[in-house]
A and B are shown apart, each in its own frame.
Chain A
Amino acid sequence: MEEKTFEPKITAFVCNWCTYTGADLAGTSRLKYKPNIKMIRVPCTGRIDPVFIIKAFEKGADGVLISGCHPGDCHYNTGNFHARRRWVLFTELLNYMGIDSSRLFFSWVSASEGKKFVDVVSNVIETVKAKGPFQQYQKINKEFVLDE
């Protein structure tokens, strides 16, 4: 019997102007990467409230990627600068909670960096695959679930 290997579920919050376009470039260049990643497009990384990350984990994500424009290139000038500060605080908070913050990945990927996008995503998928499923949230997700 074939054993089903663990395939991680990754949610990616990507900014519309840089990373999303970069991902699109990866597609038009026919660069291949694994399908574990589901992308959610936001106007800017500055839009991302850490509650999105928590929600992703609650909904079953094993890893979360956040990617946006390089500093200085933000379409809205300063959105990614604000986001950058938030992420420092949030990762510290997650660590203090005992939640593995190494399941949270950040990158700057510009619209012309299709290859970089593929590299980043592949790295995230491989890393999370090696870590295994996100036990902590899977456990608390089971409360009040209807048993079959």
Chain B
Amino acid sequence: MNELRQLSKDLLQNGTVKVIIGYAEGTTPGRTKPFIARTPEDTDKFVFNKHCVNNLAVYLTRKEYKGKGTVGIVAKGCDVKAIVQLVQENQINKDDIYIIGMNCNGAAADFGKDTLAVKCIHCTVRTPHLYHTLLGTIDEMPKQEDDHLKMIEKFDAMTSEEKWAFWEAEFEKCVKCYACRQTCPMCYCEKCIADKSMPRWIESSAHTRGNFAWNIIRAFHLSGRCIGCNECERACPAQIPLSLLNRKMGMVAKKEFDYTAGIALDNPTLVGNYNNADREDFIK
């Protein structure tokens, strides 16, 4: 932690970065919150521990940072995936960011919880795959069964009627707060399709039909782009299991097109590209 604070202080002092987005302590010991350090003194507030579950890449696409100097960011492997994907999609310039990569030993599923987050159980980027400086050490992380994957497989085996009944019950709870969209680093559109009113594609009312439309379209717009940080599910006040949906679409992208999001800077994007050999057996 001292390494982090010292490095951040130096970066701000010598002008390498304009601001650094990191984590500070929250209201209770089991919580941290995103914190933006603008002066070298601010960096004394930085922390890094297993409660740093937020994906800070969500701030990188904000207008206030565009073209205003280099932005430093404290990033775990999953956060770096988001950064890589954003660079792939030309939303941020890789020369405008300074990644302080953190070796990560797993994050807690949510504030006040001790269980490991779902995204950590099958993590392959405990050391981030892209960084300007790397800090921290890799320690032993307890091995855990990927129960979440089993849930998806079990869900896949359900009948059509059962699946529909499940999602109908879940989406009835949706309040259309759009917290899922706001905390997602990949939802950066200045004018979201849900906000278009001429014509109104996705109804804004929180009835089941409007909720289905919103959640289906968001899941579709994320297919092949979602990097699995699960911030959407964590933020949802109605506790809808969005990870069940988004992870499945990631698996479909892998199975059908051998594509994984957020891995290499020069990878092509999934739906922004095509292949002559793409599947078309379902087309008459």
Binding site for B on A (CB under 8 A): 49-51, 54-55, 58, 71, 78, 81-82, 84-100, 105-108, 120, 123, 136-137, 140-141, 143-144
Contacts and interface: CB of A to CB of B under 8 A. Distances in A.
A93 B249 contact: yes
A17 to B, nearest CB: 17
Given A88-B279, A98-B166, A140-B212, A93 B207 contact: no
Contact of A85 (B165, B193, B278): B278
Contact of A144 (B207, B275, B278): B207
Interface residues of B, number: 45
Contact of B256 (A54, A89, A100): A89
A10 to B, nearest CB: 14
A88 B281 CA distance: 10
Contacts of A84: 274, 278-280, 283
Given A85-B274, A89-B252, 10 more contacts: A54-B213, A71-B280, A85-B270, A89-B249, A89-B271, A97-B167, A98-B162, A98-B163, A98-B164, A140-B207
B271 A86 contact: yes
17 contacts: A50-B216, A51-B201, A81-B275, A84-B274, A85-B271, A88-B256, A88-B282, A89-B220, A91-B282, A93-B219, A93-B223, A93-B252, A95-B160, A100-B160, A108-B283, A136-B164, A140-B209
Interface of B: 155-156, 158, 160-168, 193, 201-202, 207-209, 212-213, 216-217, 219-220, 223-224, 245, 248-249, 252-253, 256-257, 270-272, 274-276, 278-280, 282-284
Given A89-B271, A140-B209, A140-B212, A99 B164 contact: yes
B163 A96 contact: yes
Given A89-B256, A136-B164, A143-B209, A96 B274 contact: no
